[in-house]
Structure 1
Amino acid sequence: MGPVETIKRISRRVGQLLGVGPGTGPEALRESFQARYHTFKLLVSANTQALEVMAEMEEALRGEIPFGFGFIRSRTARVTAVVYSIIRYMEALAPGRYPGLHDSFEAIRRNIQEALPRVEKHVEGRRVVALGEIDRNDSAECGPKMAHLGELRNRMGLRVPDGFVVTADACRMFMESGDLREEIDRLIQASGADNPSSMLALCEAIEREVLAAEVPDEVAVAIGREYERLAARIGYRPNVGVRSSALGEDEAGSSSAGQYLTLLNVHPEDMLFAYKRVVASLYGAQAMGYRRNRGLDTPPMCVGFLEMVEAWAGGVVYTRDPLSENAEAVLINACWGRPKSVVDGSVLADSFVVDRRTLVQRSRDIAVKRIRMHGGRAGGMVMDRVPADMASQPSLTDQQVTDLTCTSLRIEEQFGYPQDIEFAVNEAGEIAYLQARAVMLTAEPVVQPLPEGTRVVMSGGVRVSGGVGAGLVHHVRTTADILDFEPGGVLVARQSGPDLAPLLPVASAVITELGGVAGHLASVAREFRVPALFGMGNALDSIPESAMVTVDADGRRVLRGVVESLLESEAPGVNLMAGSPVHTALAAVAEHITPLHLLDPEGLTFRPENCTTLHDITRYCHEKAVAEMFSFGRGHKVSRYEAKQLHVEGSPKQFWVVNVQDGFMVEPSDKWVELGQIACQPMLALWRGMNAFPWEGPPAVNGRGFLSVLFEASMNPKLNVAGGSSLAFKNYFMISKEFCSLQSRFGFHFCNVEALVGEYAVENYAGFRFFGGAADPGRRRLRVMLISEVLEEFGFRTSVRQDSLTARVEGRGPEHMLSRLVVLGHVIMHTRQLDMIMRDAAQVQAHKDRLCSQLGELLGEPASLGAHSIDG
């Protein structure tokens, strides 16, 4: 069964839960809401994961991180799987409504598969593999760390300790034996682990489970058999180093160094226990925290067993300075004894800097090395004092420095990117290579000095796209502001919303008060190489409209005027991997993953069949998923007798409440519910806005307005206000603790609010739909324009079509979202019947000023701040 058929089969089952039709009872409605709510949250989480992987791929293409073929395969597999999940969740939310997504996904997936570099097929299902049988193409079976050592030993002929690898398949067999995986999953789900202490307790509990588990006989026998083969090859029974080699570890672009366990000088009798200790390190606090923050799954742990070699000296080589991407130098740090002392920083180390081109030492710094690490006779590692005559002597000879440099540059050429190489030197001066992985370049951008007298308007924020740009500031607060943007301007906005993306090709720079590296707009900014600073709080207040500024994204600062020296010094960064086979391969794959073409949700081209990249699919599904959640309340009609009438201090109101999930503090025994019994914060925020100021009553209507109402009422059958007992024509709230859907009808106009407000900002949204009225179309349109302008002042994105308005705000913290629901409640109550007196733009402005003034008083923030306030 192919992926498309699988999606359809799963979606039909979930659709049975979600497809509750009009007129169903409250229990079915609750089940429907819970399933839909859960699916929506999964989709949002998957969307975030997909964008993070895309951001990594873009960073690699720009040369900001080194990478290898393993990086391409792992990131491609992950983003494809996550987007597959997004489509599955989308189909579950709206069964059968977006069939074109399946075809587009399949076409994109085929293109990606054709672009992926071909790899040699290897035997699958092995439990243990000798190091002499593998190379870097075996990363998926043996983990990158051991696969890279196999490459050094078998493809390059370098001196590497002999040994073997316990594979990913062996780890899976171990984890699935005796219900170990199920028990670990249970511990994780039961823990929560939302603070360091609970995380540490969880990790200790999991480690106990792993160490108590039995290694399956097939794996244990294979380890023992391969050790005997190792002993036969080298002529004695060695102690071994037991090293982690998790899938994804030591790949270029990975920061997993130091997360997992390495055990040195392990006696053969202790190999199985050492194996379990290394596997258990998958669940160390650092490793679990990293995966949780990155949304990564727990990988299988491959484990290498290597002959322990004598280490008279040892250390680490960086084929490029990790603190300076442009330095044409090789760095070597070394000490007496095992290189672990250099790796963990436990001793002072000698430092040698060698020119990459001439192999001449640029500098050397010989430390006083008073202690060293070596293997103990009974196993394990011990520290002792360095003899006095050796303490101040270089731990490497000049010839060893040269040999290390030459070989390390060969290793870099073999892999195609800068390397971090661990080595050991025996007493005879022979060099053994113990590890080779990508250098994690952490250099900050070069910040240019400012000319004397330069004024900094604002600084800080997050550099999401580097460079320098200058132009006139253009504030974008509303949809109309987007239309007025002049090419070459500096775009300053509150949110980094995708609706701004069409402006990027003509913008000189972008500044937003909110947003981060993983957003759609950040991706497009990098694609067009537009300097961009996000997270610049209060930028709209601090950077004046129409001012001429220079945006120095590398220095994270905004400067008054045009700073010519910065613009003249602006030059593209050096991409160390450009032109290499691995960079060309990633570019070919990324062409079908990272570009974003679907920019305008209101455009005719915003359709599933026009998705040509995985980024297009994530953009389309996110937009439609919010729309599907917004339609939930409007798609379910509930009888009045299945709802509770709202009472406030004993007084009945013309609102009914349907509790779909934990929306009441206590389930009422009567046919009504008191406001004080409501646990739904979004509903309470709406109610606060609706009742904070008393409604002044119907406005005084002139003769023309009155005749307009009579004419519309007589000619438009949809304006009939008579009706039965169905709540479809009444005012009702559908609620859970974090969710609220309000359906209301006031006279001749209708409105719908739907909101989800919880702990996680990325999941939060509030949508509003308003349409109808009793007056003629012109007056009704003036009213929705009034509502649109008020909502845009408070940060909503709005769309107006004739007398219909939709508005949305999303992705903010709970305090901000609840304040915006207060705004909606106030607007709903205080725009009633205003269409009857709407005559011109001046009247719209007068009512807008009044509403904004009241809201400013209610929220404690003027509208000009409300549009872009920052969550605390």
Structure 2
Amino acid sequence: MDQIIKITPDFDYSKVDNFRTKKLEGHVTILKTGLPVADAYLINPSVYSFWKNKESFPENFHEKLEESINDILTKFQSITLRTCFRFDGFENPRALPAWRKLKKKERILESIIEAYKKGQEIAKKNKISNYGLGLILMGRVDGIKGGVMIVDIGKENLCMIDSCWGDNLLITDGESGFDTFWVDEDLKIIKEEIREKKYGYFFNGIEKVKKSIDESKVLVPSLNDQEIRKLVEYGFKGAKFHDSNVEIEFLIGEDSKIEAYELQLKHGFKLENPKLKRKSNSLVEGTSVFPGKITGNVKIIEKEEHLSKVNKGDILIVIPMDIPTFLPVVDKAAAIITDSGGITSHLATIAREFKIPCIVGTENASKILKDGDRIIFDGGRGTISTVGQNEG
């Protein structure tokens, strides 16, 4: 059994019993594309199966782990441990956290065990009996900013970049405080939204630290023109190489060095050209994630205790929360609305994968609407109206 395998462009999935997740495939894909990406190793899911049965690691695992750690740290400042959680019926790449800023073997071993226990906890909570759990050891630069970009080489031939100070978790968790740039293939910025960025997230292991951003950076674009152009070049290169729309997550260091660490193919995904968005007189507006027109009752979900009030067919207004917390009611939601976040948030990804109509970034839906309100939700247009209102 190959306990720890280096991830390469020609990665042999048969060595891991054809175990596949979007994170693993995303790393292989970005290597094939030739974009700048850190070295990474996969800890075989069979190691987790061994540990689950014996609460110890296989023979020679410690030696193989040390070899992998030493190889990564000769080129990168730290190691991130990423989780690949696969279970029957659905692969949720967002269910488990990552452990960051790791350097010592002892702490990495502790993080591996923490990840295994967290996987068991989520499986038990969601009544998942059959699942696999692999871990990726990945090198990391010390990023001062990060983000997610989507490239549409179909109708619009457009790249959209969400970026923030600190880790891109602020974006993927669906919070506010990030910038958005729309750029065409000729590297022309056709629109930018520079928002107030009062805080960012930085990490020590799994601990997420919320830090205030220096006042001089709060209203300054989080990306400079050179970084935007380079990201767009990388994005279109990846999309054309795979002949598919793509989503790429990235980090940027103090020297403007870009590290792309995941590329996912987004067949059929379409970006909305911001210049073509129509005005409406709807009660609430946001950004369309997944289309669908639905009439239903509102339920506002601000914390885990609110999940118990959700009934099948409700339209949920979700305040940012961990995806594992939200998973138990996903199949009950007729539609999803958020106040904050964009189309690159994890909740938006979940909505697309479950094909749940979704609108994000309304800013005020939870303030204007209340539990029990009956509304008309139009995911394609990104509009919300009360029953009887003229949408215009």
- Scaled by the length of structure 1, what TM-score is found? 0.29
For the structure 1 residues 392 and 254, does the alpha-carbon distance in structure 2 shift closer, same or farther, using more than 3 Å as the test?
Answer: farther
**Mapped contact 1:350–1:365 kept (Cα < 8 A):** yes
* Structure 2 equivalent of residue 264 of structure 1: 100
Deviation by residue 1:384-443 (Cα, 9 ceiling, x = unmatched) = 221211111111112322221221122233344332211011111111012122449542
1:444 equivalent in alignment to 2:291? yes
* Structure 2 equivalent of residue 150 of structure 1: 28
Pick one of 341, 360, 367 that aligns with 2:188.
360
* Structure 1 equivalent of residue 72 of structure 2: 230
**Mapped contact 1:256–1:287 kept (Cα < 8 A):** no
Which runs of structure 2 are paired with 1:455-494 in the superposition (5 Å)? none
Deviation by residue 1:628-672 (Cα, 9 ceiling, x = unmatched) = xxxxxxxxxxxxxxxxxxxxxxxxxxxxxxxxxxxxxxxxxxxxx
The aligned amino acid for 1:275 is: I
Gaps of 5+ in 1: 1-124, 179-212, 448-458, 462-553, 556-872
Specify which structure has the higher proportion of helix: 1
For the structure 1 residues 326 and 133, does the alpha-carbon distance in structure 2 shift closer, same or farther, using more than 3 Å as the test?
Answer: closer
Pick one of 114, 118, 128 that aligns with 2:4.
128
User: 1:300 is paired with a residue of what secondary structure?
Assistant: strand
For the structure 1 residues 345 and 444, does the alpha-carbon distance in structure 2 shift closer, same or farther, using more than 3 Å as the test?
Answer: closer
* Structure 1 equivalent of residue 237 of structure 2: 410
**Mapped contact 1:260–1:284 kept (Cα < 8 A):** no
* Structure 1 equivalent of residue 78 of structure 2: 239
The aligned amino acid for 2:58 is: P
Structure 1 residue 312: deviation in Å?
A: 1.9
* Structure 1 equivalent of residue 336 of structure 2: none
Q: Counterparts of 1:286 and 1:172 in 2: how far apart (Å)? A: 14
Structure 1 residue 145: deviation in Å?
A: 1.4
Which runs of structure 2 are paired with 1:285-304 in the superposition (5 Å)? 285=122, 289=126, 298-304=130-136
* Structure 1 equivalent of residue 49 of structure 2: 172
**Mapped contact 1:163–1:306 kept (Cα < 8 A):** yes
For the structure 1 residues 460 and 392, does the alpha-carbon distance in structure 2 shift closer, same or farther, using more than 3 Å as the test?
Answer: closer
User: 2:142 is paired with a residue of what secondary structure?
Assistant: coil
- Scaled by the length of structure 2, what TM-score is found? 0.60
For the structure 1 residues 263 and 309, does the alpha-carbon distance in structure 2 shift closer, same or farther, using more than 3 Å as the test?
Answer: same
**Mapped contact 1:137–1:147 kept (Cα < 8 A):** no
* Structure 1 equivalent of residue 209 of structure 2: 382
Structure 1 residue 219: deviation in Å?
A: 2.8
Q: Counterparts of 1:385 and 1:379 in 2: how far apart (Å)? A: 19
For the structure 1 residues 340 and 287, does the alpha-carbon distance in structure 2 shift closer, same or farther, using more than 3 Å as the test?
Answer: farther
User: 1:129 is paired with a residue of what secondary structure?
Assistant: strand
For the structure 1 residues 248 and 412, does the alpha-carbon distance in structure 2 shift closer, same or farther, using more than 3 Å as the test?
Answer: farther
1:373 equivalent in alignment to 2:212? no
% of aligned pairs identical?
Answer: 15
* Structure 1 equivalent of residue 373 of structure 2: none
The aligned amino acid for 1:242 is: L
1:278 equivalent in alignment to 2:107? no
Q: Counterparts of 1:316 and 1:272 in 2: how far apart (Å)? A: 29
Q: Which has the higher contact order (CA 8 A, sep 6+)?
A: 2
**Mapped contact 1:354–1:405 kept (Cα < 8 A):** yes
The aligned amino acid for 1:280 is: K
Which runs of structure 2 are paired with 1:771-790 in the superposition (5 Å)? none
Gaps of 5+ in 2: 270-288, 297-378, 381-392
Q: Counterparts of 1:342 and 1:216 in 2: how far apart (Å)? A: 38
RMSD: 3.5
Q: Counterparts of 1:132 and 1:169 in 2: how far apart (Å)? A: 19
For the structure 1 residues 162 and 142, does the alpha-carbon distance in structure 2 shift closer, same or farther, using more than 3 Å as the test?
Answer: farther
For the structure 1 residues 365 and 217, does the alpha-carbon distance in structure 2 shift closer, same or farther, using more than 3 Å as the test?
Answer: same
**Mapped contact 1:242–1:306 kept (Cα < 8 A):** yes
The aligned amino acid for 2:171 is: V
The aligned amino acid for 2:193 is: D
User: 2:135 is paired with a residue of what secondary structure?
Assistant: strand
Deviation by residue 1:550-569 (Cα, 9 ceiling, x = unmatched) = xxxx99xxxxxxxxxxxxxx
User: 2:131 is paired with a residue of what secondary structure?
Assistant: coil
Structure 1 residue 137: deviation in Å?
A: 5.8
The aligned amino acid for 1:239 is: S
**Mapped contact 1:266–1:379 kept (Cα < 8 A):** no
Q: Counterparts of 2:171 and 2:117 in 1: how far apart (Å)? A: 25
The aligned amino acid for 2:110 is: F
1:314 equivalent in alignment to 2:146? yes
For the structure 1 residues 286 and 216, does the alpha-carbon distance in structure 2 shift closer, same or farther, using more than 3 Å as the test?
Answer: closer
Q: Counterparts of 2:123 and 2:228 in 1: how far apart (Å)? A: 34
For the structure 1 residues 332 and 255, does the alpha-carbon distance in structure 2 shift closer, same or farther, using more than 3 Å as the test?
Answer: farther
Structure 1 residue 363: deviation in Å?
A: 0.8
Q: Counterparts of 1:347 and 1:266 in 2: how far apart (Å)? A: 28
User: 1:312 is paired with a residue of what secondary structure?
Assistant: strand
Larger radius of gyration between Structure 1 and Structure 2: 1
**Mapped contact 2:85–2:91 kept (Cα < 8 A):** no
